[in-house]
Amino acid sequence: AQTVTQSQPEMSVQEAETVTLSCTYDTSESNYYLFWYKQPPSRQMILVIRQEAYKQQNATENRFSVNFQKAAKSFSLKISDSQLGDTAMYFCASPVMEYGNKLVFGAGTILRVKS
């Protein structure tokens, strides 16, 4: 079965600093996508960034970037210049590459940005 593991239940970072959230996954697929979603206290799940496994280049979206290590099946999220609004639960997710949409999520990492 496809699994996604986030080993850091909670993390904190000072405003303006950089933090990295870890994620490892297990898939037998050769071509797949990986996602990071953010869930702030409002509970709205927001897409942060998406990585296509066949692309060598790490995805970047403004202050958010990933470190994708395909051989190690590692997909970490780096947040630069952390802001108070980044406080949220962050989920790593991978789709099951069968017919239809099905995301498998990690357990999540609570990130607290402190002023």
Partner 1 sequence: KAGVTQTPRYLIKTRGQQVTLSCSPISGHRSVSWYQQTPGQGLQFLFEYFSETQRNKGNFPGRFSGRQFSNSRSEMNVSTLELGDSALYLCASSLPSGSTDTQYFGPGTRLTVL
Whole-angstrom CA distances from 95 to 13, 42, 68, 76, 106 are: 29, 24, 16, 17, 12
Q: Which of 42, 70, 76, 109 binds partner 1 (CB under 8 A)?
A: 42
Binding residues for partner 1, rule CB under 8 A, total: 27
Q: Which of 45, 70, 80, 87 binds partner 1 (CB under 8 A)?
A: 45
Residue 34 host element (H or E): strand 33-39
Within 10 A of 25 (CB to CB), how many other CB atoms are there? 20
Beta bridge pairs of residue 52? 33
CB nearer partner 1, residue 72 or residue 98: 98
**44, two tokens:** 């709205």
Which positions from 56 to 85 touch partner 1 by CB under 8 A, shown as an x/- string?
------------------------------
Q: Which stretch binds partner 1 (CB under 8 A): 13-21, 56-64, 74-82, 102-110?
A: 102-110
Residue 41 contacts partner 1 per CB under 8 A: no
Separation between Cα atoms, residue 50 and residue 82, nearest integer Å: 19
Residue type (1 letter), 101: N
Residue 30 contacts partner 1 per CB under 8 A: no
Residues of the shown chain interacting with partner 1 in the complex, contacts defined by CB under 8 A: 32-33, 35, 37, 42-47, 50, 52, 91, 95-108
